[in-house]
A = this chain, B = another copy of it.
Amino acid sequence: MSLVVVGSVAFDAIETPFGKTDKIIGGAATFITLAASYFTKKINLVAVVGGDFLKSDIQMLQEHGVNTAGLQIKEDEKSFFWSGKYHNDMNSRDTLVTELNVLGTFDPVIPEEYQNCEYLMLGNLAPSVQKTVIQRLRKRPKLIVMDTMNFWMNIALSDLMETLTMVDVLSINDEEARQLAGEYSLVKAARKILTMGPKILIIKKGEHGALLFRENQVFFAPALPLEDVFDPTGAGDTFAGGFIGYLASTRDISFDNMKRAIIYGSAMASFCVEKFGTERLQHLSKAELESRVQEFVELVQFEIALA
């Protein structure tokens, strides 16, 4: 049930209407591995950071069961840095700074002990790097989940389309699905994207929940209505981490189990946004998680006796 996660491990500086942070740990793979760590402990990280990265942050990941053998530390370079400011409605943000730094030349290294992993989560990265990771695994994993974003559709579409043919599940947001398919209707967009390679498509709609598509099946998971969204950074990655972590821990990739995985992913995301960055994800109890999942059950369950 080993899981390999590739993606950025980075510094974020975040400003929201509730406050601002200095440079804190962020990055897709950080949120993914932390979220997955509440389900499985065999999490193998593939990423790169600079010499400026904090040893204490790496230790924090290790304490959550993350194997950092595949985390390259380039002592003479700087870590990927992103800074952004959220608007009052929290649904839109301005990117203030993007410094690729070590990520600009990222050549992923797969330690021998990562070979034969069953689950692979490709966090948002250049599609060519995602492809390289797949190619460097000698045995194809049982399930490959890929996240991406509109940025790569704009500048690396052919790489993206090629990598898409190699994965099982694609996870993107609604605007990205519309852009990738050239269809406004999400149902039509999903049908089109499911011809591009992935057999399963997850469309994330932020505060409006998430849709799971396979062939002619569709499942919808709501987002939990929250009083306050403190910081949305990493919510999508946290969702993906909960999804793949749950699948890896249950070793069941049926559609019914993916429904459960989406609910667990949504529950993890609902925690993520309660504090800045990874703060809430670093300290979460099993009881809190189960109670949150129970809230999802109560939110959507109804009983109708049909004729």
Which residues from chain B contact A88 at a C-beta distance below 8 Å? 184
Residue picked from A90, A228, A302, most chain B C-beta under 10 Å: A302
Which residues from chain B contact A211 at a C-beta distance below 8 Å? 225
A290 near B302 (CB under 8 angstroms)? Answer: no
Interface string of A186-212 (1 = CB under 8 A from B): 111000000000000000010011010
Across the interface, A297 reaches (CB within 8 A) one of B229, B259, B304, namely B304
B306 near A290 (CB under 8 angstroms)? Answer: yes
B225 near A222 (CB under 8 angstroms)? Answer: no
A226 near B: Cβ within 8 Å?
A: yes
Given A205-B208, A208-B205, A302 and B260 contact (CB-CB distance below 8 Å): yes
Chain A residues 148 to 189 lying within 8 A of chain B, measured CB to CB, are: 184-188
Across the interface, A220 reaches (CB within 8 A) one of B299, B303, B306, namely B299
B299 near A219 (CB under 8 angstroms)? Answer: yes
Nearest CB of chain B from residue A255's CB, rounded to whole Å: 10
A185 near B228 (CB under 8 angstroms)? Answer: yes
Closest B residue to A264 using CB positions: B304
Interface size on A, residues (CB 8 A): 38
Given A259-B302, A303-B256, A209 and B225 contact (CB-CB distance below 8 Å): no
Which residues from chain B contact A218 at a C-beta distance below 8 Å? 225, 299
A263 near B: Cβ within 8 Å?
A: yes
B303 near A290 (CB under 8 angstroms)? Answer: no
Which residues from chain B contact A220 at a C-beta distance below 8 Å? 222, 225, 299-300
Which residues from chain B contact A222 at a C-beta distance below 8 Å? 209, 220, 222, 300
**How far, in whole Å, are A49 and B291 apart by their CA atoms in the complex?**
53
Given A184-B89, A222-B209, A304 and B263 contact (CB-CB distance below 8 Å): yes
**How far, in whole Å, are A252 and B302 apart by their CA atoms in the complex?**
15
Closest B residue to A307 using CB positions: B290
A187 near B225 (CB under 8 angstroms)? Answer: yes
Chain A residues 192 to 251 lying within 8 A of chain B, measured CB to CB, are: 205, 208-209, 211, 218-222, 225-229
